[in-house]
């Protein structure tokens, strides 16, 4: 992927990140990199709220929300595998 590219990726095992989860970018970035076979350091940031409307609906209906698989918007720094 090229620098500046953005891609929505699933972050598995989201619930294992200590609360407040969205404040632990370093942990989440490491997890996404490992889960998707990306080069360490390729992701420079994650946006947990890229689709706020859907997120609010999912959180409101916790019974069907899968807290172990959360879509995040990844921002890439440069070329990665």
In whole angstroms, how far apart are CA 50 and each of 7, 39, 40? 11, 23, 22
**Residues β-bridged to residue 10:** 71
Output the pTM of the full model: 0.70
Q: Cα separation of 34 and 23, whole Å?
A: 19
Task: Output the tens digit of pLDDT for each of the chain's 81 residues.
Answer: 556 788 888 888 888 989 888 889 899 899 989 998 988 688 888 888 777 655 544 444 444 445 566 777 788 775 444
Domain limits, the chain: 6-76
Within the chain, what is the greatest distance between any pair of CA atoms? 39
């Amino acid at each position: 992927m090229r620098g500046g590219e953005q891609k929505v990726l699933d972050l598995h095992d989201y619930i294992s990140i200590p609360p407040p989860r969205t404040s632990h970018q370093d942990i989440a970035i490491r997890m996404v990199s490992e889960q998707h076979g990306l080069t360490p350091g390729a992701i420079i940031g994650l946006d947990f709220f890229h689709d706020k409307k859907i997120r609010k609906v999912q959180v409101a209906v916790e019974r069907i929300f899968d807290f172990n698989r959360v879509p995040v918007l990844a921002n890439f720094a440069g070329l990665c595998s």
